[in-house]
């Protein structure tokens, strides 16, 4: 049973091992998007708090115990943090659902295990990532070291507030870096709580700092701070581009995981029952506020009418409901602004000539909340705005295609390249099409699967660098080559 009664504590900054107020004393209120009611006050970090957090992180990096800790001990601390996250699963899931509006089913069954999985997985790498001895010349003993970068600034979005802490902080910390993380202003609560749990797990003061605050103030101050060596960012392409320019000035390394408008391609020879389920979860999981959402559904002409009919029926049954109810599968959008953006796109699509075959409306639950129905727009052409722009809500655009070449052409005809799905019983076609799609992840007869062990990131305007998997360890380390003369 989800705890619906206990009040949520005011949120603080986690800075140099302590939960503290902002130096300015400023706070902001975080709001439950399902009820439109305040949840609690949260300390609002300003540039002066960023400065003290970065200084604490630098001190912890240069003189403190974290990079000097025996790898096996650092591994143990991060593993313990994974365990503590699981021990506090109900509490974290509730906070996430209150703050973000996502169904408690997702917070509890998907998000919490994923964050714990990140800390467990990357703790394993602490003792495994090694340099190499390289055979260059008998006159030298030559080897490489994989060293941490220093202080990593992590700026994360509101759609997966807790999971993003795991994706960014777990590998950065595992590789011996110190972290200053800013959660989105709309959803700061779970990051703060994980920051507290990190201290309980034995992460030393200054190593992992959490600074809730505004992107344009605290976020920008982190990016510009000369004491930060690298920025890892997930969010909109527009802000990502801005951050990249700022990083150029400071010659900072940067990883960007940005928007998407991913094609989910259904061939006529697919298992249609599975494909209808996959098309539905591909867009409506996470309320469609998912960077990799399968928001462009490409359907082969021969099955188009039947498929869209089944899809519309399934979408019609998926009604928004109280996110704290374990049976709910479609929650509230994160904010009134996001809801209005999404509803605006539905109007735009209809105005462009698309046909609304399911949903399309706001439906308050118990008279409140930013809930939008599961929406399907049919007869979309790939040049329309609803086919090209990231809507970031429960709105699916259905586009027809004629054959595999046409599917690949339409699938790739977009600035983004984050993910793609395809559904077919033909194994050769599956692999051939997967290779031709310009996307960082391709799911075959599946959609929306993630694991700490599988790299994730974009092609084209969806960004560069990788979160997760062995690939992401390079994002948080640098290689030092050592030449020892033996003569």
- State the residues that interact with ligand NDP by CB under 6 A: 155-159, 182, 184-186, 214-216, 219-220, 223, 234-236, 239, 242-243, 258-259, 291, 341, 390, 392
In sequence order, what are the beta bridge partners of 351? none
Decide if 220 contacts 153 (C-beta within 8 A).
Answer: no
Q: Provide, rounded to whole angstroms, the least separation between the CB of residue 242 and ligand NDP.
A: 5
Cβ-based nearer residue to ligand NDP, 182 or 193: 182
Structure tokens at 40: 């609690």
DSSP string, 14-60: EETTEEE--TT--EEEEEETTTTEEEEEEE---HHHHHHHHHHHHHH
Active site residue 257: yes
Catalytic residue selected from 291, 390, 472, 475: 291
Q: Provide, rounded to whole angstroms, the least separation between the CB of residue 436 and ligand NDP.
A: 24
Cβ-based nearer residue to ligand NDP, 162 or 324: 162
Cβ-based nearer residue to ligand NDP, 182 or 296: 182
Q: Provide, rounded to whole angstroms, the least separation between the CB of residue 341 and ligand NDP.
A: 6
**Beta strands per DSSP E along 172-284:** 178-182, 208-210, 230-234, 253-257, 263-266
Within the chain, what is the greatest distance between any pair of CA atoms? 82
Cβ-based nearer residue to ligand NDP, 100 or 424: 100
Q: Provide, rounded to whole angstroms, the least separation between the CB of residue 284 and ligand NDP.
A: 16
Cβ-based nearer residue to ligand NDP, 97 or 234: 234
What b/e string do you get for 19-49 counting C-beta neighbours within 10 Å, with b at 16 or more? bebbbeebbbebbbbbbeeebbbbbbbbbeb
> Residue 480 and residue 6: Cα distance in Å, rounded?
51
Active site residue 73: no
The torsion of the CA quartet 202, 205, 207, 209, rounded to 10 degrees, works out to 110
> Residue 242 and residue 188: Cα distance in Å, rounded?
22
Q: Provide, rounded to whole angstroms, the least separation between the CB of residue 156 and ligand NDP.
A: 6
Q: What sign does the CA torsion over 225, 291, 3, 199 have? A: negative
Q: Provide, rounded to whole angstroms, the least separation between the CB of residue 360 and ligand NDP.
A: 18
Catalytic residue selected from 257, 289, 300, 475: 257
Residue nearest to ligand NDP (CB): 215
Cβ-based nearer residue to ligand NDP, 52 or 225: 225
> Residue 9 and residue 42: Cα distance in Å, rounded?
9
- Indicate the burial class of 354 (C-beta count within 10 angstroms; 0-12, 13-18, 19 or more): buried
Q: Which residue intervals of 251-335 are DSSP H helices?
A: 272-284, 304-317
Q: Provide, rounded to whole angstroms, the least separation between the CB of residue 342 and ligand NDP.
A: 8
Cβ-based nearer residue to ligand NDP, 171 or 286: 286
Active site residues: 257, 291
């Amino acid at each position: 049973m989800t705890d619906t009664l206990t009040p949520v504590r005011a949120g603080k900054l986690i800075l140099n091992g302590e939960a503290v107020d902002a130096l300015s004393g400023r706070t902001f209120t975080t709001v439950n998007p399902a009820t439109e009611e305040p949840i609690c006050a949260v300390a609002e970090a300003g540039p002066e708090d960023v400065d003290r957090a970065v200084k604490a992180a630098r001190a912890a990096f240069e003189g403190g115990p974290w990079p000097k800790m025996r790898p096996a001990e650092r591994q143990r601390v991060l593993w313990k943090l994974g365990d503590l996250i699981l021990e506090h699963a109900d509490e974290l899931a509730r906070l996430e659902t209150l703050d973000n509006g996502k169904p408690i089913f997702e917070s509890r069954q998907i998000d919490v295990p994923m964050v714990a999985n990140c800390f467990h997985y990357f703790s394993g790498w602490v003792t495994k990532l090694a340099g190499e001895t390289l055979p260059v010349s008998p006159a030298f003993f030559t080897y490489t070291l994989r060293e941490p970068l220093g202080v990593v600034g992590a700026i994360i979005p509101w759609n997966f507030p807790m999971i993003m802490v795991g994706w960014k902080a777990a590998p950065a910390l595992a590789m011996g870096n110190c972290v200053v993380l800013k959660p989105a202003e709309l959803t700061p609560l779970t990051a703060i709580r994980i920051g507290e749990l990190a201290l309980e797990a034995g992460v030393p003061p200054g190593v992992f700092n959490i600074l809730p605050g505004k992107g344009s103030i605290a976020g920008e101050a982190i990016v510009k701070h000369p004491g930060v060596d690298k920025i890892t960012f997930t969010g909109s392409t527009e802000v990502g581009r801005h951050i990249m320019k700022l990083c150029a000035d400071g010659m900072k390394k940067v990883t960007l995981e940005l928007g998407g408008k991913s094609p989910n391609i259904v061939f006529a020879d697919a298992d249609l029952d599975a494909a209808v389920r996959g098309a539905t979860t591909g867009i409506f999981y996470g309320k469609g506020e998912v960077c990799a959402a399968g928001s462009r559904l490409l359907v082969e002409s021969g099955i188009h009418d039947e498929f869209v009919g089944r899809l519309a029926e399934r979408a019609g049954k998926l009604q928004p409901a109280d996110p704290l109810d374990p049976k709910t599968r479609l929650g509230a959008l994160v904010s009134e602004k996001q809801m209005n953006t999404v509803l605006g796109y539905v109007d735009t699509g209809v105005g462009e000539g698309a046909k609304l075959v399911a949903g399309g409306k706001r439906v308050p639950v118990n008279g409140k909340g930013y809930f939008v129905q599961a929406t399907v727009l049919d007869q979309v052409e790939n040049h329309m705005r609803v086919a090209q722009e990231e809507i970031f809500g429960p709105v699916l655009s259905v586009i027809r295609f004629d054959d595999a070449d046409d599917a690949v052409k339409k699938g790739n005809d977009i600035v983004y390249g984050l993910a793609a799905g395809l559904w077919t019983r033909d194994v050769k076609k599956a692999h051939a099409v997967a290779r031709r799609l310009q996307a960082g992840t391709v799911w075959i007869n599946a959609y929306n699967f993630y694991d700490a062990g599988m790299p994730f990131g974009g092609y084209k305007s969806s960004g560069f660098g990788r979160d997760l998997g062995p690939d992401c360890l390079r994002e948080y380390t640098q290689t030092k080559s050592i030449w020892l003369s033996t003569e």
